Amino acid sequence: MKADLILEQQSQKNKTKVAYSLYGVALLCCILSLLAMGKNFQATIFSSGLAALCAVSLTLGFLIRVQPILAQIWGTAFGKLLLAFCSAFTAVIASVPARHVVSGAMSLPANDFPTTLTFWTILCYPAVAISFATVVFLAVYVILLIIAALIALSTQPPIDGFIRGALNLLPSKYDSQKRLVNSRWRLTMVMFADAFAAAILSVIAAYSLTGWYRVVDQPNLVRLFAYWADYETPTAYPGIEKDAVRLLENGVVSYARRGKWDVAIRVACLKGLSCPLS
């Protein structure tokens, strides 16, 4: 057990060194990107590439730093319960955009196409998860930025003198706290780097959200899927035509006729019955 603990601590130290190295690369790329800009600070191909490398380095460093924390949280009973709750909540919320997509494509209530609605809810699940991630990353960005600002403020007089005076009164066993106070500027820079990495991740998540929704919101694909999943051809059912049909409420039926890449949807009444369309 002790050997495993030592190995785990050593692994954590190595990960921290890698994360700090990536932060250093990001800082270097940021400086070079500014120097590589053209006149009036116009972006060039070289400066844009360096800026992208800066963003990637920051993001990777941040993920390496937070991965052990997240793993430790998910390993607890509270973490597992939180993960289960978030998954269930995401599944419920995912039905909202799915309803809009299905009803918009079919021009009918989404509940009339349960299989299609269920399938598109599953497709919308990643989009909702990404939106939650965007909110979380933005919250982390704000919190880290505030913490970094407070740490930077603590290095200025008279706050710095008060903190150092209080630490000098503590016994020698508080050496780790004293070292932390002496490395506040380094901690501030790391926190600022973490904050900007969280901001970059939130932007990436936001772009991913819009991109995913564009992929999911394909009316012709919705109609094609509904044609095979929810429409039927009950030829023995009285009062219906030969096209694929979906029985709705109040004697209303929806007919579907498949084309090459789309399905034509029309609504009618069952023959011999009166309905709101009459």
* pTM across the whole model: 0.73
* Chosen domain end from 74, 107, 129: 74
Cα–Cα distance for residue pair 136/70, rounded to 1 Å: 13
Distance separating alpha carbons of residues 176 and 36, to the nearest angstrom:
42
Q: Which domain holds residue 111?
A: 94-225
Q: Which residue has the higher pLDDT, 121 or 278?
A: 121
| 62 and 135 co-located in one domain | no
Residues 220 and 153 in one domain: yes
Long-range pairs of 263-268 with CB within 8 A, sequence gap ≥ 24? 263/220, 263/223, 263/224, 263/226, 263/227, 265/106, 265/107, 265/108, 265/223, 267/108, 268/241
Question: 258 in helix, strand or coil?
Answer: strand
Asked if 208 and 114 sit in the same domain, the reply is: yes
- Residue pLDDT, tens place only, 174-216: 566 666 667 777 878 888 888 888 888 888 888 888 888 888 9
Question: Domain for residue 191, yes or no?
Answer: yes
**Using CB atoms within 10 A of its CB, is residue 223 exposed (0-12), middle (13-18) or buried (19+)?**
buried
Could you say which of 44, 74, 104 is where a domain stops? 74
Q: 70 and 38, same structural domain?
A: yes
The C-alpha angle 9, 197, 19, rounded to 5 degrees, equals 30
| Average pLDDT over every residue of 116-128 | 92
Q: Confirm whether 276 is domain-assigned.
A: no
Written as six digits, the tokens of 93 are 């919320």
270: nearest Cα among 231, 246, 226, 112? 246
Q: Give yes or no: residues 221 and 121 share one domain.
A: yes
Most confident segment among 143-152, 163-172, 179-188: 143-152
Euclidean distance between the first and the last CA atom of the chain, given in angstroms as a whole number: 79
Same domain membership, residue 1 and residue 50: yes
* Tally of domains in the chain: 3
Q: Is residue 80 part of a domain?
A: no
- Does residue 277 fall inside a structural domain? no
In the numeric block, the tokens 């933005």 are attached to 138
Summarize pLDDT for 47-62 with one digit per residue, the tens. Answer: 888 888 888 888 888 8
- Quote the tokens at residue 7: 């190995």
